[in-house]
Amino acid sequence: MTKLQETRECKEERKILGFDRNVFYIGITSFLTDTTTKMIYAIMPLFLLSLGATKTEISLIEGIAESTASLIKAVSGWWSDKIGRNKPFMIIGYGFTALLSPLFAAAYSPLQVLIIRFTERVGKGIRTAPRDSLIAGSCEDGDRGKGYGFHKAMDNSGAIVGPLLAAGLLLLFPGQYRTVFLIAAIPALLGMATIIAFVKEARVEKPEHLGRIRLRDFRKKYYAFLAIVFIFTLGNSTDALLLIKASDVGVSAAFIPIIYLIFNSVSVFFAVPAGILSDRIGREKLIIFGYLLYSAIYWGFGRADYWVTVVLLFALYGLYSATTDGVQKALVSDLIDKNKRGTGLGIYNCVVGMTLLPASLMAGYLYDNVNNQAPFYLGSILALVAAVLMIIFYHKGKPAPASGEMGS
């Protein structure tokens, strides 16, 4: 038996259900943590409305929390590259969510919700880029899309269970949002324990010199893609407005989490197949499809005035999510050198998160001051522009390979 065959057999033994052990256990952690966050997120817009918050304030809370914490994503990604370790950042980041989530039960004003939400999202900022880097480093060449697809599926599986639990608890305890917040902390604590017990560092060569983040460290194609993502995200505001739109057309408070569950169920079903498909046909084609689908969905949300239409749109929204979110990260990983993936993914996540602030502010303002159609029409138009730019990006040069080494 050759050394190469021994190495391959060893890798196969380390797999669980066909996935690397790290990818599998990171998926479990994301499932548990997202159960917590989506139990909270599914009812947060209604909770804030009960505290007297306006649509603009709700959008502002989400925008500030996500965008400000996103600055940390680039720093944590760079730092994890510098020291050659990802796990410590993941423990700290997931720990923030586990320990801070129950504090929403003690909030009695939108400002208090903002403070807790912002601090909890700092944890997401700390963990996201190192986690994505560890997934990429744990996957074999040619399996990166599959790995990110599995992670997306597990993440969204938690987003199915979370709203379902929230809906069940609200049926048992009508209007008792604070009870849901307290119970929601349990899965996140289990997720943090999973990271500590089972996730190992992937073998990554520690760069000899990794100083400041420099523009020339990354390819022009990487920055071109970030520009397209920026334009798309500018029209991709907080999902809280989608839930409020559902409420506007007659969906009851107890069933708002079920609507969100439908979205995540569809996303889970298609996430892994979409990741595998991107490994085979190229990431760009899936992203173009996702942007075009998003444009059609948001146009539909703008015109929707009946709850059945909203349910169907949420299902399609799950398909968009499956074909875009994880695939975009896989494309970013393809476009950057493996020793700088933490930094590159951190910058990508930072761009997405920072853009959410103006996106959410614009959408919330339009919702409050124009009508409940305007923010969705804006999102539809910007997604269409991004799709056209992505087509140009694809045809301008050879598609980024689904695997293999990339130069700087």
What confidence category does residue 407 fall into, taking pLDDT thresholds of 50, 70 and 90?
very low
Structural domain includes residue 3: no
Question: Would you state the pLDDT for residue 356?
Answer: 79
pLDDT at 197 over 70: yes
Structural domain includes residue 40: yes
For residue 339, give the DSSP letter.
G
pLDDT at 169 over 50: yes
> Which of 61, 310, 39 shows the shortest CA–CA distance to 182?
39
Find residue 19's DSSP bridge partners.
Answer: 16
What confidence category does residue 3 fall into, taking pLDDT thresholds of 50, 70 and 90?
very low
Locate 18 and state its tokens: 């066909």
pLDDT at 406 over 70: no
Residue carrying structure tokens 């708002």:
256
pLDDT tens track for 153-166: 888 788 788 888 98
pLDDT tens track for 77-105: 666 666 667 888 889 989 999 999 999 99
Range in 1-10, 30-39, 91-100 the model is least confident about: 1-10
Q: Assign residue 270 the CATH number of its domain.
A: 1.20.1250.20
Maximum average pLDDT range among 79-93, 222-236, 316-330: 222-236
Question: Would you state the pLDDT for residue 112?
Answer: 92
pLDDT at 404 over 50: no
Report which of residues 260 and 232 the model is more confident about: 232
Q: What mean pLDDT is predicted for residues 14-25?
A: 82
Q: Which domain holds residue 27?
A: 18-201+215-396
Q: What mean pLDDT is predicted for residues 361-367?
A: 86
Report which of residues 10 and 99 the model is more confident about: 99
pLDDT at 268 over 90: no
What confidence category does residue 113 fall into, taking pLDDT thresholds of 50, 70 and 90?
very high
Range in 1-10, 12-21, 238-247, 271-280 the model is least confident about: 1-10
Structural domain includes residue 5: no
Q: What mean pLDDT is predicted for residues 256-283?
A: 82
Structural domain includes residue 116: yes
Q: What mean pLDDT is predicted for residues 223-235?
A: 90
Q: How far apart are CA 312 and CA 94, in angstroms?
A: 33
pLDDT at 399 over 70: no
State the distance between the two ends of the chain, measured CA to CA, in whole angstroms.
Answer: 36
Locate 262 and state its tokens: 């439908």
Structural domain includes residue 404: no
Q: What percent of the chain has pLDDT over 70?
A: 83
Query: Half-sphere exposure of residue 94, counting CA atoms within 13 Å on the CB side?
Result: 29
Report which of residues 280 and 91 the model is more confident about: 91
Structural domain includes residue 273: yes
Question: Would you state the pLDDT for residue 257?
Answer: 78
- CB neighbour list of residue 249: distance below 8 Å, 6 or more residues apart: 304, 305, 306, 307, 309, 310
Q: What mean pLDDT is predicted for residues 363-382?
A: 89
Residue carrying structure tokens 């033994």:
13
Structural domain includes residue 95: yes
Calculate the average pLDDT of the chain.
81
Number of domains comprising the chain: 1
Residue carrying structure tokens 């400000």:
68
Structural domain includes residue 8: no
Range in 41-45, 109-113, 250-254, 402-406 the model is least confident about: 402-406
Rounded to two decimals, the pTM is 0.68
Q: How far apart are CA 90 and CA 99, in angstroms?
A: 14
Torsion over CA: 324, 326, 327, 333 (sign): positive
